[in-house]
Chain A
Amino acid sequence: MPISLEQARAAKASAKAALAALPGLVGVGITKVGEDYALKVNLREPLPAGVSAPERIGDVPVLVEVVGRITKRG
Protein backbone atom coordinates (compact mmCIF):
# COMPACT_ATOMS: atom_id res chain seq x y z
CA MET A 1 0.00 0.00 0.00
CA PRO A 2 1.55 3.33 -1.03
CA ILE A 3 2.45 5.93 1.59
CA SER A 4 -0.32 8.53 1.71
CA LEU A 5 -0.05 12.30 1.92
CA GLU A 6 -1.54 12.17 5.42
CA GLN A 7 1.14 9.70 6.54
CA ALA A 8 3.85 11.96 5.14
CA ARG A 9 2.35 15.00 6.87
CA ALA A 10 2.21 13.14 10.18
CA ALA A 11 5.82 11.98 9.76
CA LYS A 12 6.91 15.53 8.97
CA ALA A 13 5.28 16.88 12.11
CA SER A 14 6.76 14.19 14.32
CA ALA A 15 10.28 14.43 12.86
CA LYS A 16 10.51 18.22 12.85
CA ALA A 17 12.72 18.45 15.94
CA ALA A 18 15.01 15.58 14.93
CA LEU A 19 15.50 16.89 11.39
CA ALA A 20 16.06 20.46 12.63
CA ALA A 21 19.25 19.23 14.31
CA LEU A 22 20.82 18.30 10.96
CA PRO A 23 23.66 20.71 10.10
CA GLY A 24 22.93 22.96 7.11
CA LEU A 25 19.20 22.17 7.01
CA VAL A 26 17.33 24.69 4.83
CA GLY A 27 13.96 23.05 4.52
CA VAL A 28 11.77 20.03 5.13
CA GLY A 29 8.94 19.26 2.79
CA ILE A 30 6.86 16.54 1.20
CA THR A 31 7.52 15.06 -2.22
CA LYS A 32 6.46 12.05 -4.22
CA VAL A 33 8.70 9.10 -5.02
CA GLY A 34 6.86 6.79 -7.41
CA GLU A 35 3.51 6.02 -5.80
CA ASP A 36 4.70 6.96 -2.32
CA TYR A 37 4.67 10.30 -0.62
CA ALA A 38 7.98 10.96 1.12
CA LEU A 39 9.70 13.57 3.25
CA LYS A 40 12.18 15.79 1.46
CA VAL A 41 15.07 17.20 3.45
CA ASN A 42 16.90 20.09 1.79
CA LEU A 43 20.47 20.81 2.89
CA ARG A 44 22.76 23.74 2.13
CA GLU A 45 25.78 21.42 1.88
CA PRO A 46 26.45 17.70 2.21
CA LEU A 47 26.26 16.34 5.73
CA PRO A 48 29.62 16.04 7.49
CA ALA A 49 31.19 12.61 7.88
CA GLY A 50 29.57 10.64 10.66
CA VAL A 51 26.25 12.52 10.45
CA SER A 52 23.37 11.05 8.52
CA ALA A 53 19.71 11.75 8.02
CA PRO A 54 17.21 9.00 8.83
CA GLU A 55 16.24 6.87 5.81
CA ARG A 56 12.67 6.59 7.03
CA ILE A 57 10.44 8.26 9.60
CA GLY A 58 8.16 5.41 10.54
CA ASP A 59 7.13 3.99 7.16
CA VAL A 60 7.70 7.24 5.31
CA PRO A 61 10.88 7.37 3.20
CA VAL A 62 13.18 10.40 3.57
CA LEU A 63 14.78 11.91 0.50
CA VAL A 64 17.82 14.13 1.12
CA GLU A 65 18.94 16.72 -1.43
CA VAL A 66 21.70 19.33 -1.36
CA VAL A 67 20.07 22.48 -2.72
CA GLY A 68 22.71 25.06 -1.81
CA ARG A 69 21.86 28.46 -0.41
CA ILE A 70 18.28 29.62 -0.90
CA THR A 71 17.90 33.36 -1.40
CA LYS A 72 15.08 35.63 -2.43
CA ARG A 73 14.99 36.18 -6.18
CA GLY A 74 14.90 39.96 -5.76
Chain B
Amino acid sequence: MTGAMGEHGMTELRYLRRRANRRVRKVRLVRGVLRWAAFVAVQALLAALLVFAAGRALAGLERSPLLALRQIEIEGAGNRSFSDAGDSGSLIVDDEMLAAALLFAGGDHGGSNGKGLTYANPIAAVFKALKVKLA
Protein backbone atom coordinates (compact mmCIF):
# COMPACT_ATOMS: atom_id res chain seq x y z
CA MET B 1 0.00 0.00 0.00
CA THR B 2 2.93 2.34 0.28
CA GLY B 3 4.08 2.35 -3.31
CA ALA B 4 4.68 -1.18 -4.44
CA MET B 5 3.78 -1.88 -8.07
CA GLY B 6 0.55 -3.87 -8.30
CA GLU B 7 -0.87 -6.07 -11.07
CA HIS B 8 -2.40 -3.02 -12.88
CA GLY B 9 0.96 -1.45 -13.67
CA MET B 10 0.65 1.30 -11.11
CA THR B 11 1.19 1.59 -7.43
CA GLU B 12 -1.46 -0.09 -5.33
CA LEU B 13 -2.28 3.25 -3.68
CA ARG B 14 -2.88 5.06 -7.01
CA TYR B 15 -5.02 2.15 -8.23
CA LEU B 16 -7.21 2.23 -5.13
CA ARG B 17 -7.62 6.01 -5.35
CA ARG B 18 -8.66 5.79 -8.99
CA ARG B 19 -11.21 3.07 -8.20
CA ALA B 20 -12.58 5.12 -5.35
CA ASN B 21 -12.87 8.22 -7.54
CA ARG B 22 -14.68 6.27 -10.23
CA ARG B 23 -17.18 5.04 -7.64
CA VAL B 24 -17.68 8.56 -6.33
CA ARG B 25 -18.32 9.88 -9.87
CA LYS B 26 -20.85 7.07 -10.44
CA VAL B 27 -22.66 7.89 -7.22
CA ARG B 28 -22.74 11.61 -8.17
CA LEU B 29 -24.12 10.76 -11.63
CA VAL B 30 -26.90 8.61 -10.15
CA ARG B 31 -27.72 11.32 -7.59
CA GLY B 32 -27.80 13.93 -10.36
CA VAL B 33 -30.20 11.88 -12.47
CA LEU B 34 -32.41 11.21 -9.44
CA ARG B 35 -32.41 14.91 -8.50
CA TRP B 36 -33.33 15.88 -12.07
CA ALA B 37 -36.12 13.28 -12.18
CA ALA B 38 -37.46 14.48 -8.82
CA PHE B 39 -37.37 18.11 -10.06
CA VAL B 40 -39.30 17.19 -13.24
CA ALA B 41 -41.80 15.13 -11.21
CA VAL B 42 -42.40 17.99 -8.75
CA GLN B 43 -42.86 20.50 -11.62
CA ALA B 44 -45.30 18.15 -13.37
CA LEU B 45 -47.21 17.67 -10.11
CA LEU B 46 -47.40 21.43 -9.51
CA ALA B 47 -48.60 22.04 -13.09
CA ALA B 48 -51.25 19.33 -12.70
CA LEU B 49 -52.40 20.82 -9.37
CA LEU B 50 -52.56 24.29 -10.94
CA VAL B 51 -54.69 23.06 -13.85
CA PHE B 52 -56.92 21.13 -11.45
CA ALA B 53 -57.33 24.17 -9.16
CA ALA B 54 -58.10 26.47 -12.11
CA GLY B 55 -60.70 23.99 -13.37
CA ARG B 56 -62.32 23.77 -9.92
CA ALA B 57 -62.32 27.58 -9.59
CA LEU B 58 -63.96 28.04 -13.00
CA ALA B 59 -66.53 25.38 -12.23
CA GLY B 60 -67.24 27.09 -8.90
CA LEU B 61 -67.63 30.44 -10.64
CA GLU B 62 -70.09 28.91 -13.08
CA ARG B 63 -72.13 27.58 -10.15
CA SER B 64 -71.89 30.82 -8.17
CA PRO B 65 -75.35 31.96 -7.09
CA LEU B 66 -74.44 35.53 -8.05
CA LEU B 67 -73.81 34.49 -11.64
CA ALA B 68 -76.56 31.90 -11.76
CA LEU B 69 -79.20 34.38 -10.63
CA ARG B 70 -78.40 36.97 -13.27
CA GLN B 71 -77.10 40.44 -12.64
CA ILE B 72 -79.12 43.49 -13.58
CA GLU B 73 -78.06 46.31 -15.90
CA ILE B 74 -79.53 49.72 -15.09
CA GLU B 75 -79.33 53.08 -16.85
CA GLY B 76 -80.06 56.45 -15.32
CA ALA B 77 -83.28 58.31 -16.09
CA GLY B 78 -83.00 61.62 -17.88
CA ASN B 79 -79.53 62.90 -18.53
CA ARG B 80 -77.74 61.38 -15.54
CA SER B 81 -75.85 58.22 -14.75
CA PHE B 82 -77.62 55.91 -12.30
CA SER B 83 -74.49 55.56 -10.18
CA ASP B 84 -71.12 57.11 -9.52
CA ALA B 85 -67.86 56.24 -7.75
CA GLY B 86 -68.48 55.31 -4.12
CA ASP B 87 -71.94 53.85 -4.78
CA SER B 88 -70.90 50.19 -4.50
CA GLY B 89 -72.93 48.48 -1.82
CA SER B 90 -75.91 50.80 -2.24
CA LEU B 91 -79.27 49.15 -1.87
CA ILE B 92 -81.45 49.67 -4.93
CA VAL B 93 -85.15 49.77 -4.15
CA ASP B 94 -88.21 49.44 -6.34
CA ASP B 95 -91.02 51.99 -6.57
CA GLU B 96 -92.53 50.56 -3.38
CA MET B 97 -89.22 51.11 -1.55
CA LEU B 98 -88.65 47.36 -1.32
CA ALA B 99 -85.09 46.05 -1.65
CA ALA B 100 -84.44 44.99 -5.22
CA ALA B 101 -80.69 44.74 -5.77
CA LEU B 102 -77.24 45.60 -4.47
CA LEU B 103 -75.15 47.92 -6.63
CA PHE B 104 -71.58 46.81 -7.34
CA ALA B 105 -70.23 48.15 -10.66
CA GLY B 106 -70.69 50.55 -13.50
CA GLY B 107 -69.19 52.31 -16.44
CA ASP B 108 -69.19 55.71 -18.08
CA HIS B 109 -70.32 54.74 -21.59
CA GLY B 110 -73.49 53.29 -23.00
CA GLY B 111 -77.13 53.45 -22.11
CA SER B 112 -79.72 55.32 -24.12
CA ASN B 113 -78.55 58.63 -22.58
CA GLY B 114 -74.87 57.78 -23.11
CA LYS B 115 -74.09 58.37 -19.41
CA GLY B 116 -73.07 54.84 -18.62
CA LEU B 117 -74.59 51.71 -17.18
CA THR B 118 -74.80 50.37 -13.65
CA TYR B 119 -74.70 46.73 -12.57
CA ALA B 120 -76.31 45.17 -9.52
CA ASN B 121 -76.93 41.76 -8.01
CA PRO B 122 -80.56 40.83 -7.34
CA ILE B 123 -81.11 41.04 -3.59
CA ALA B 124 -82.28 37.42 -3.37
CA ALA B 125 -78.97 36.28 -4.88
CA VAL B 126 -77.05 38.41 -2.37
CA PHE B 127 -78.97 36.91 0.56
CA LYS B 128 -78.41 33.42 -0.80
CA ALA B 129 -74.68 33.96 -1.37
CA LEU B 130 -74.17 35.47 2.08
CA LYS B 131 -76.55 32.97 3.72
CA VAL B 132 -78.44 35.77 5.47
CA LYS B 133 -82.11 36.66 5.94
CA LEU B 134 -83.84 39.90 6.81
CA ALA B 135 -85.15 39.72 10.38
SS of B interface (majority): loop
Q: Is there an interface contact between B109 and A66, defined as CB atoms closer than 8 Å? A: yes
B interface size (C-beta, 8 A): 22
Contact partners of B116 in chain A: CB under 8 A: 67-68
Q: Does A70 contact B (CB under 8 A)?
A: yes
Q: Is there an interface contact between B110 and A74, defined as CB atoms closer than 8 Å? A: no
Instruction: Give the CA-CA distance A73 to B118 in the complex, in Å.
Output: 9
Which of B14-22, B42-50, B53-61, B78-86 participates in binding chain A? Answer: B78-86
Q: Is there an interface contact between B105 and A40, defined as CB atoms closer than 8 Å? A: no
Q: Is there an interface contact between B109 and A72, defined as CB atoms closer than 8 Å? A: no
Instruction: Give the CA-CA distance A40 to B112 in the complex, in Å.
Output: 13
Q: Is there an interface contact between A29 and B73, defined as CB atoms closer than 8 Å? A: yes
Which of A29, A30, A66, A71 contacts B110, CB < 8 Å? A66
Contact partners of A42 in chain B: CB under 8 A: 73, 110, 117
Contact partners of B86 in chain A: CB under 8 A: 73-74
Contact partners of B105 in chain A: CB under 8 A: 70-73
Q: Is there an interface contact between A72 and B104, defined as CB atoms closer than 8 Å? A: yes
Instruction: Give the CA-CA distance A62 to B124 in the complex, in Å.
Output: 28
Mark A residues whose CB is within 8 Å of B.
27, 29-31, 40, 42, 65-74
